[in-house]
Amino acid sequence: MRFELDADQRDFAAALDSLLASADTVAVARAWADGDHGPGLELWSRLADMGVTSLATEDTPVELCLAFEALGRHAVPGPWVESVAYVGAEDGIHTVALPPHVPYALDADIADNVTDLGAAHASIDRTRHLFEVADRADVDQVAFDRAVLAVSAQLLGAGERILTDSVAYVKQRKQFGREVGSYQAIKHALADVRIALDFARPLVYGAALGEITPSAAKVAAGDAAYGSARTGLQVHGAIGYSQELDLSIWLTKVRALVTAWGTPAYHRARVLEGLR
C-alpha cells in the first residue's frame, strides 16, 4: 500500500511544527519539570486553538499521529495522550489511571477531572508528574488503542529529534583533528537509527489507517526511538549524561514512553496473539 499525506494534512503538520518551533518548548519543558505549569498551560491553549484537542473526535487518526509526532519532536509536556487521545476531551485538561498498564495518572495535579489526589511518584522523565488517584473507570479498549497509537507517534517524533541533534553535533565536534561524524563507526550507528525510524513510521501510520494493530506500531516506534536515544547518548560522549544538555529532555522522555501505556512485552504479546 502506498500512503501519502494530502495537502491539508501537510499544511496542518507544517503549521503545527512552525508554532512549536517558535514556542521555546525546551524552556516550557524545563519549567514544567520544576513545577511551573504556566508556560505549558499557555502553550496548551495555543494548541487547542489550532484544534489539537479535538483531533480524537473530529479528525482521522492520521491527523492525531501528525500532532503527536510533533509533540514528541518538540518535547511538549502535559497529559496530551490522556486528555486528547484517551478521554477525547475538547475542553479542559484530563488524565486517567488504568492499572495495570497505566498505574498512575499523569499530571493529575493540574487535571480538571481529578477530585481525589493521592501520592506522587517519580519518573525518569522529570516532566512527567505521576499520581495515585481514586477516580478510575473501566478500560475503553478503542480509546486505549488510540492512546497507544498517540504514544507511538510521540516516540517517533522524539526519536527523530534525537537523531537530528546527534547528526548536528557530530558534524561540529572534533577529535584528533577530525569531525566525529567523519568516522565510519559513527556514520554506521546513525544510519542504523535512520533506517529503524524509517521502518517504524509506516507501522505507525499503518496503524492509524487500521491496517495493523497499534501494538505493532508501539513496539516498532519504541525500539527505534530507544535505539536513537542510546546512539545519541553515545555520540555525545560524557556530555550526553548532563541534565543541562537539552538532549537529556528527549533521552528521558523516550525512556519513560517506551513503557507508557503498556510495556514492550505486553504489546509484543498482543501482536503475537493477533497472528494466531
In angstroms, the CA 206 to CA 1 distance is 9
- pLDDT, residue 3, reads 74
- pLDDT, residue 135, reads 73
Specify whether the CB–CB gap between 96 and 260 falls below 8 A. no
Q: Look at 58 and 49; give whichever has higher pLDDT.
A: 49
Identify any residues that bridge with 117 across adjacent strands, giving them in sequence order: 133
Q: Is residue 120 part of a domain?
A: no
Query: 184-204 pLDDT, tens per residue?
Result: 788 899 999 999 999 999 999
pTM value is: 0.94
Specify whether the CB–CB gap between 61 and 146 falls below 8 A. yes
Q: For residue 137, how many C-alpha atoms fall within 13 Å in the half-sphere facing its CB? A: 11
Rounded to 5 degrees, φ, ψ at 174 are -120, 145
Could you tell me which of 175, 185, 172, 158 has the C-alpha nearest to residue 247?
A: 158
In angstroms, the CA 129 to CA 119 distance is 11
Residue 45: which residues within 8 A CB-CB, separation 6 or more? none
Alpha helices in 107-140 (DSSP H): none
- pLDDT, residue 174, reads 60
- The helix or strand, by DSSP H or E, that contains position 105, with its residue range, turns out to be strand 105-106
Q: Is residue 229 part of a domain?
A: yes
Ranges 169-178, 197-206, 231-240: which has the least confidence: 169-178
Q: Compute the Cα dihedral for 156, 161, 164, 169 and give only its sign.
A: negative
Q: Is residue 121 part of a domain?
A: no
In angstroms, the CA 1 to CA 15 distance is 27
**pLDDT at 169 exceeding the cut of 70:** yes
- The helix or strand, by DSSP H or E, that contains position 120, with its residue range, turns out to be strand 117-121
Could you tell me which of 152, 12, 154, 150 has the C-alpha nearest to residue 72?
A: 154
Query: 93-148 pLDDT, tens per residue?
Result: 999 999 999 999 999 999 998 878 899 999 999 999 999 998 777 889 999 999 99
CA distances 174 to 64, 180, 182, 229, 230, Å, are: 40, 5, 9, 21, 20
- pLDDT, residue 176, reads 62
Mean pLDDT of 245-265: 96
**pLDDT at 90 exceeding the cut of 70:** yes
In angstroms, the CA 102 to CA 261 distance is 6
- pLDDT, residue 182, reads 59
Which grid coordinates are listed for 188?
Answer: 554506521
- pLDDT, residue 5, reads 87
Mean pLDDT of 221-228: 98
Domain that holds residue 38: 1-94+139-276
In angstroms, the CA 68 to CA 86 distance is 13
CATH number at residue 258: 1.20.140.10
Q: Is residue 117 part of a domain?
A: no
**pLDDT at 1 exceeding the cut of 60:** no
**pLDDT at 240 exceeding the cut of 90:** no
Question: Domain total for the chain?
Answer: 1
- The helix or strand, by DSSP H or E, that contains position 131, with its residue range, turns out to be strand 130-133
Q: Is residue 59 part of a domain?
A: yes
Ranges 42-51, 65-74, 174-183, 204-213: which has the least confidence: 174-183
| Residue showing cell 498517540 | 150
Q: Is residue 129 part of a domain?
A: no
Q: Is residue 30 part of a domain?
A: yes
- pLDDT, residue 156, reads 98
Which grid coordinates are listed for 27?
Answer: 524552556
- pLDDT, residue 2, reads 65
For the ranges 20-29, 185-194, 237-246, the maximum mean pLDDT occurs at: 20-29
Ranges 57-61, 83-87, 188-192, 234-238: which has the least confidence: 57-61
Whether the link from the prior residue into 100 is cis, omega within 30° of 0, is yes
Mean pLDDT of 225-240: 90
Residue 268: which residues within 8 A CB-CB, separation 6 or more? 215, 219
Q: Is residue 108 part of a domain?
A: no
